[in-house]
Structure 1
């Protein structure tokens, strides 16, 4: 696979808008591991190797277990994820696969039961951000570093 272009260099002002959104969502105050689970799950669905490499390393650095990372794609069948994580993951899948799911009422009810109204909006913006990054990385064929996964910030 060959990269198509470096979107950071091609349109720095446009990418800065994404960076600004990312900085904003990082400041929402969600549990750090919940944020990483959401980013990893969306990246799994979108097939974004670049983001998977980055966010699994970030999750490990923040203390996430290998077992939960291995089972994340089958979270519905695992007791390792708490109610809040399950609600966030269901909402992540619903919005990442929006054309297919239509954001089902059952997923929204889980969201409402575990997140305040402000948190619902903030979680949705987090999901929007990671889906945007996935689309940039997959669309322009960003290549993840080869070798041990790196942790960011």
Structure 2
């Protein structure tokens, strides 16, 4: 695999804009581990290997178990996730696939059982942020390890 371009240097203003968005979303009050679950699930659906790799590593550093990390793609069939996490993951999937059916009422209502209006919008913004990162990573050919010293010297 070969990196098409380094987006970090190709357009500094765009990179800084995404960093500001990410920083803003982090301050919206989502629990850090929940935010990582959202980023991982959205990245899996969007097919962003770079982001899946990065955020599963981040979740591991937070002390998350390998079992739960491995079960994120099949969270509906895995009892390891709380009802609150399930509501966030269902909302994440609906938002990523918004063109398919919007956000169905039952998903909205389930999310609102666990999240107030501000937290609901924080999840929406989290999905927006990771979706932007996914699109940058995929379109520029990023892959796990592409910025490692060895990968850049190849």
Spell out the pairing of 1:40-59 with structure 2 (5 A cutoff): 40-59=40-59
Structure 1 unmatched ranges of 5 or more: 147-153
Q: Which runs of structure 2 are paired with 1:4-153 in the superposition (5 Å)? A: 4-145=4-145
Quick one: distance in 2 between partners of 1:123 and 1:46?
A: 17
Give me the whole-angstrom Cα distance separating, in 2, the residues matched to 1:133 and 1:55.
Answer: 12
How far has the Cα of 1:3 moved from its partner?
1.6
Quick one: distance in 1 between partners of 2:133 and 2:32?
Answer: 18
Report the alpha carbon displacement of residue 117 of structure 1 after superposing the two structures with TM.
0.5
TM-score by length of 2: 0.90
- Helix, strand or coil at the partner of 1:120: helix
Give the gaps of 5 or more residues in structure 2: 147-154
User: What TM-score results when the alignment is normalised by the length of structure 1?
Assistant: 0.91
Q: How many correspondences in the alignment?
A: 146
CA RMSD of aligned residues (A): 1.1
Deviation string 1:60-113 (CA, Å, 9 cap, x unpaired) is 000111111111111011111111111110010001111113211111111111
Distance 1:143 1:83 in 2: 32
In structure 1, C-alpha distance between the alignment counterparts of 2:116 and 2:89, rounded to whole Å: 16
Which secondary structure does the structure 1 equivalent of 2:123 belong to?
Answer: helix
CA contact (8 A) 2:29 2:119 kept: no
Residue 30 of structure 1, CA deviation = 1.7
